[in-house]
């Protein structure tokens, strides 16, 4: 790891450690990808035809930074307690972490500028198409390209620290050593895709928005091809039914902020590892 990569990793960890949030976190994960990685253009075929490329965020882009902030175990345990009621701890974690990611990104841009490195970032959330509910810059897909994890049946990215947490990413005009290559084999982390032994995410969805899909509906680099389609029949995820539920959840926690979050599908065995 070169000096800049060490600086970036330490910066994320320090920002999280010093965050004055009610939410606690486990050790953040950081990964890197080349802006020229051929998997970025593939997202226009797999996920969204208008998905942005790194150069759309920063014309001089050379690398992409991805980071994952995993929630403390007590946040997940609180959300496991009731089958349908979303825990206040989870709602708070969602709002606080989105704010924290945006703050980290802006501080990153300033800190890197002092080193002569240009950077750009997209918001942590709410940057999707209001009709298809598909993001034009998917932080999860960026993390998959950076090798931080593989997608599960629940459409969450499962990292070595699990899936209970939030992702952020930045595009920079510096060269960083990629932590994943296009021809790297998928290291499967979803038990359903591995051997069909787990469907807990499907069982715990409060509104039946998730269904099991054939393993074959998966792209070669770990981002499932099922993300390409907005309808439940093809994808196993009814995004509109899910989001209607999330809006109801947000109404339950007006004092927290706009907490359109549920997380029941992220409380199974893949929550932590």
| Tens of pLDDT, residues 133-142 | 778 899 999 9
Buried b (16+ CB within 10 A) or exposed e, 218-229: bbebbbbbbbbb
Query: Mean pLDDT for the chain?
Result: 89
Please check the confidence at residue 232 and state whether its pLDDT lies above 50.
Answer: no
Q: Residue 114, Cβ neighbours under 10 Å: how many?
A: 7
- Expressed as residue numbers, the domain containing 262 is 3-266
> Average of pLDDT values for 222-246?
63
Q: Residue 1, Cβ neighbours under 10 Å: how many?
A: 12
In a domain, residue 246? The reply is yes
Please check the confidence at residue 1 and state whether its pLDDT lies above 80.
Answer: no
In a domain, residue 175? The reply is yes
- 96-118 residue pLDDT tens: 999 999 999 999 999 999 999 99
d(CA 65, CA 85): 35
β-pairing, 149-151 vs 157-159, is: antiparallel
Percentage of the chain beyond pLDDT 70 is 92
In a domain, residue 85? The reply is yes
Question: 168 by DSSP, 3-state: which?
Answer: strand
In a domain, residue 271? The reply is no
Nearest to 67 by CA among 116, 33, 95: 33
Please check the confidence at residue 222 and state whether its pLDDT lies above 50.
Answer: no
In a domain, residue 225? The reply is yes
In a domain, residue 126? The reply is yes
Q: Which pLDDT band, with edges at 50, 70 and 90, does 217 fall under?
A: low
In a domain, residue 229? The reply is yes
Give Cβ neighbours of residue 261 (< 8 Å, ≥ 6 apart). 86, 90, 91, 94, 95, 246, 249, 250
Domain count, the chain: 1
In a domain, residue 273? The reply is no
- 31-86 residue pLDDT tens: 999 999 999 999 888 777 888 999 999 999 999 999 999 999 999 999 999 988 99
């Amino acid at each position: 790891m070169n000096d800049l990569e060490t600086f970036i990793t330490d910066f994320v960890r320090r920002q999280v450690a010093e965050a004055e949030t009610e939410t606690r976190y486990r050790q953040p994960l950081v990964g890197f990808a080349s802006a020229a990685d051929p998997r970025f253009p593939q997202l226009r075929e797999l996920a969204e035809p208008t998905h942005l490329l790194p150069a759309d965020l920063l014309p001089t882009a050379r690398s992409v930074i991805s980071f994952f902030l995993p929630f403390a175990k007590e946040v997940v345990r609180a959300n496991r307690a009731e089958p349908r009621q979303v825990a206040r701890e989870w709602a708070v974690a969602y709002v606080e972490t989105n704010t924290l990611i945006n703050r980290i990104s802006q501080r990153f841009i300033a800190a890197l500028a002092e080193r002569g490195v240009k950077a750009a970032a997209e918001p942590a959330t709410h940057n999707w198409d209001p009709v298809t509910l598909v993001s034009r810059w998917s932080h999860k897909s960026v993390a998959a390209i950076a090798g931080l994890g593989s997608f599960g049946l629940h459409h969450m990215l499962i990292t070595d620290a699990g899936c209970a947490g939030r992702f952020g990413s930045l595009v920079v005009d510096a060269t960083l050593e990629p932590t994943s290559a296009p021809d790297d084999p998928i290291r499967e982390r979803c038990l359903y895709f591995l051997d069909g032994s787990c469907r807990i995410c499907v069982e715990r969805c409060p509104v039946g928005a998730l269904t099991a899909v054939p393993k074959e509906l998966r792209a070669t680099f770990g981002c499932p091809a099922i993300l390409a389609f907005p309808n439940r029949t093809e994808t196993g995820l009814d995004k509109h039914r899910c989001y209607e539920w999330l809006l109801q959840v947000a109404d339950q926690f007006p004092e927290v902020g706009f907490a359109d979050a549920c997380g029941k599908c992220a409380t199974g065995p893949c929550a932590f590892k």
